[in-house]
Amino acid sequence: MSARVEEKDLQSLAGEGLEVRFEGLYALQDVGLTATKGEILGLIGPNGAGKTTLLNVLSGFQPPRRGRVVCDGRDLTGSGPRAHVKAGVARTFQGVRAFGRLTVRENVEVASLATGMRPLAARRRTDLLLAEFELDEVAGRDAEALPYGMTRRLGIARAVAGDPVFLLLDEPAAGLSESESESLMQMLLRVRQERACCLVVIEHDMHLIMRLCDRVQVLDQGRTIAVGTPAEVQADPRVVDAYLGERAARA
């Protein structure tokens, strides 16, 4: 089978029976997840629920103690981040700010080149991505010196440079103002629309999750406590108890 056929046939990224332990504590316990091409899946839950760990496992950064990661029927368990990227799985990190002493443009160009693209094609791709994520006006600036909201967009532009089929985002709107997260949401909807890829988004902003996601999976203490449409999970008593009630009480 040629690489092109495999790419076209990629339909779902799945975790099955995943278990991760840190010093006796279960970060994940028998967690399953299926993310299908074309959908936006939200991942919510209280701090320490295991959301980042789940993203780490799905992107190959954390080998599970038990369970499997399967991308369109291909077992990727324990194969590492590079194999996941090759299979079409890209991710951004929670709270990453520094991108080395490169300009914004160089950051995106390096990410494009890393996919094996020729320099001219990588430059063209970079122009398009800078425009798409509204970074063209700051293209020549040091990435380190960018304001927070733009740094988040740069992280996403870099991940998108590899043309992922599955894009995993760890709290992309954290720390953004309301208008910044609104424009980020529009960008994410466009990414899905134009590339027909799948997004898995960890996010605390319920307002954003409810409008962005087709389905939402809720984790609590390393376990899945609910999966469904945004309206279904919002009305689920277990979710209200574990998460929404707690957030409402704090608000």
Ligand X SMILES: Nc1ncnc2c1ncn2[C@@H]1O[C@H](COP(=O)(O)OP(=O)(O)O)[C@@H](O)[C@H]1O
Q: Using CB under 5 A, list all residues that contact Mg ion.
A: 52
Looking at the Cβ atoms of 25 and 235, the one nearer to ligand X is: 25
Burial of 217 (0-12, 13-18, 19+ CB in 10 A): buried
Which position's Cβ is nearest Mg ion? Answer: 52
Question: Which one among 10, 49, 90, 156 touches ligand X, defined by CB under 6 A?
Answer: 49
Give the binding-site size for ligand X (rule: CB under 6 A).
Answer: 11
Instruction: Return the range that interacts with ligand X (CB under 6 A); candidates 44-52, 140-148, 172-180, 183-191.
Output: 44-52
- CA-wise closest residue to 106 among 81, 87, 129: 129
**22 lines the binding site for ligand X (CB under 6 A):** yes
Q: Which two tokens stand for residue 12?
A: 């779902």
**45 lines the binding site for ligand X (CB under 6 A):** yes
- CA-wise closest residue to 87 among 141, 142, 6: 6
Question: Which one among 2, 47, 98, 101 touches ligand X, defined by CB under 6 A?
Answer: 47
Question: Which one among 32, 48, 81, 228 touches ligand X, defined by CB under 6 A?
Answer: 48
First to last CA, the chain: 53
Looking at the Cβ atoms of 48 and 228, the one nearer to ligand X is: 48
Q: Give me the residue label for tokens 């043309």.
A: 163
CA–CA gap between residue 226 and residue 237 (Å, rounded) = 10
Contact 167, 133 (CB under 8 A): no
Q: Which residues bind ligand X (CB under 6 A)?
A: 22, 25, 27, 45, 47-53
